[in-house]
C-alpha cells in the first residue's frame, strides 16, 4: 500500500508539472510571443535555426515534428481551433495538397516576394520554397562513364537492364519525379517510363537513398537515383566506412541539354487559422534570410533558394547545373496520378 501511495504522489507531481507547463504556454500565447510550427523537417540545422530565431526576436518556437501527411490530416481535423501557425514540408507536393484542402493562407510579404524565384513558390503566395534539392544520378565510377549518361528518360532504355537502383514508389521524391515527367511528357509516356525503370531495376525497391548508394558501391547495380544532399551527408558522416563509400561514386545532373535536372523544395506556408500570423510571417522571412540560408547549405547540403549567396563548400565543388524550372505546384497537382501509374507499373 505504501508503494502505491508513493507511486501516486509521484504521479500527481508529474501531472501537476505538466499542468503548469500548459499554463505557461497559454500565457505565452496571450503575449503573442510564440510561433507554433508543424514540421516534417527534423534536421539539426533546423533546431539551430529555431534557436537563432528565438534569440533574435524573443519569439518562442514550439515544434510538432511528424510526417507531413499526418500533420496535414491533423490540421484539417483541428479546423479553426488548430494551434498551427506554420506548416513546413520537405516537398512541394504536400504543400500544394495543404493548399487544396484550404489549410493555408496567402501572405503578402515583400521580403518573401523579392527573395524567392517565382517557380519555387505558390502562385497565390500560400507557400514558399525554403531550400532546393536536386534528384540526381549516382554512378559507380569504375563501371560507368559519365558520357553514357544523359537524361531521366534514358534510364528507362534497355542499355541499363538490371543496372538501376531506386527506392520505393511510396517515397515522395520519386512521386514528384514521376509527376514532373507526367507534366513534361504526358501520362502515356510517363507510364512507359515507369515500366521501363521497373524492368531496369537491379533489385526490388527497398531501403533509403543512402542504401541505394551503398548498393551501387557493393556492385548490386551501376546507377542510383538519389537526392543530392544525401551524398553530402554521407561524405560528412560519422562512420568512416560511409565516407569511403560515398567517395567511390560519381554524381551526374541529368537533362542538362533539355529542361534541366528535376528539383524539389522544402517549403513553408502560413496556416489558415494561424493564431500568431505575424510571428509566422516573421519566422518564414527569417528562414530565407542570408544567414539562415547559409546554415541550410552548410550543415545540410541543400541548395539555397535565394540567389544572393553562393551554394557553399561541397555544393560548389559539384558545380553549376541547369535546373528544371517547372512550376512546383504542378508536382502536387499530378501526385496522385503518379502514384496510380506506379502501381500499374508494379513499382513497389
The binding site for another protein (CB under 8 A) comprises 7, 10-11, 14-15, 18, 21-22, 25-26, 29, 36, 42-44, 62-67, 69-70, 73-74, 77-79, 81, 83, 97, 167-168, 170, 175, 204-211, 214-215, 217-218, 230, 233, 237-239, 241-242, 244-245, 335-336, 339-340, 343-344, 346, 348
Cell of 161: 537492364
Question: By C-beta, is 62 or 150 nearer to another protein?
Answer: 62
| 3-state SS class at 127 | strand
Nearest to 91 by CA among 338, 346, 348, 343: 338
Strand partners, 62: 36
The burial class, CB within 10 Å (0-12 / 13-18 / 19+), for 199 is: middle
Question: What single string gives the DSSP state of each residue in 26-37?
Answer: HHHHHTT-EEEE
Report the nearest approach of another protein to the CB of residue 256 (Å).
Answer: 27
Closest CA to 183 of 319, 66, 331, 302: 331
State how far the Cα of 134 lies from the Cα of 226, in Å rounded to an integer.
8
Nearest-10 crossing angle of helices 92-100, 335-344: 120
- Least distance in angstroms from the C-beta of 327 to another protein: 20
- Cβ 184 to another protein shortest distance, Å: 21
Amino acid at each position: 500500500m505504501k508503494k502505491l501511495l508513493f507511486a501516486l504522489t509521484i504521479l500527481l507531481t508529474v501531472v501537476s508539472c505538466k499542468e503548469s507547463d500548459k499554463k505557461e504556454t497559454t500565457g505565452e500565447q496571450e503575449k503573442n510571443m510564440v510561433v507554433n510550427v508543424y514540421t516534417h523537417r527534423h534536421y539539426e540545422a533546423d533546431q539551430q535555426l529555431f534557436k537563432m530565431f528565438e534569440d533574435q526576436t524573443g519569439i518562442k518556437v514550439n515544434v510538432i515534428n511528424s510526417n507531413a501527411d499526418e500533420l496535414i490530416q491533423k490540421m484539417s481535423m483541428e479546423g479553426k481551433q488548430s494551434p498551427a501557425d506554420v506548416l513546413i514540408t520537405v516537398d512541394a507536393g504536400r504543400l500544394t495538397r495543404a493548399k487544396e484542402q484550404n489549410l493555408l493562407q496567402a501572405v503578402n510579404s515583400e521580403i518573401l516576394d523579392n527573395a524567392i524565384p517565382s517557380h519555387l513558390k505558390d502562385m497565390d503566395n500560400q507557400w514558399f520554397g525554403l531550400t532546393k534539392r536536386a534528384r540526381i544520378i549516382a554512378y559507380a565510377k569504375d563501371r560507368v562513364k559519365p558520357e553514357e549518361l544523359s537524361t531521366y528518360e534514358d534510364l528507362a532504355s534497355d542499355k541499363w537492364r538490371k543496372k538501376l537502383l531506386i527506392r520505393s514508389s511510396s517515397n515522395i521524391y520519386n512521386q514528384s519525379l514521376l509527376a514532373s515527367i507526367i507534366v513534361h511528357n504526358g501520362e502515356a509516356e510517363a507510364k512507359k517510363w515507369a515500366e521501363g525503370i521497373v524492368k531496369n531495376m537491379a533489385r526490388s525497391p527497398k531501403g533509403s537513398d543512402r542504401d541505394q548508394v551503398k548498393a551501387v558501391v557493393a556492385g548490386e547495380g551501376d546507377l542510383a537515383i538519389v537526392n543530392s544532399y544525401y551524398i553530402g551527408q554521407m561524405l560528412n558522416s560519422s562512420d568512416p566506412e560511409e565516407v569511403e563509400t560515398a567517395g567511390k561514386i560519381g554524381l551526374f545532373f541529368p537533362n542538362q541539354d533539355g529542361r534541366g535536372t528535376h528539383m524539389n523544395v522544402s517549403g513553408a506556408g502560413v496556416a489558415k487559422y494561424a493564431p500568431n500570423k505575424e510571428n509566422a510571417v516573421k519566422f518564414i522571412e527569417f528562414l530565407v534570410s542570408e544567414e539562415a540560408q547559409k546554415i541550410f547549405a552548410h550543415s545540410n547540403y541543400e541548395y539555397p533558394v535565394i540567389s544572393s549567396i553562393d551554394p557553399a563548400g561541397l555544393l560548389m565543388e559539384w558545380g553549376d547545373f541547369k535546373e528544371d524550372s517547372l512550376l512546383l505546384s504542378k508536382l502536387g497537382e499530378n501526385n496522385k496520378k503518379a502514384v496510380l501509374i506506379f502501381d500499374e507499373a508494379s513499382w513497389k
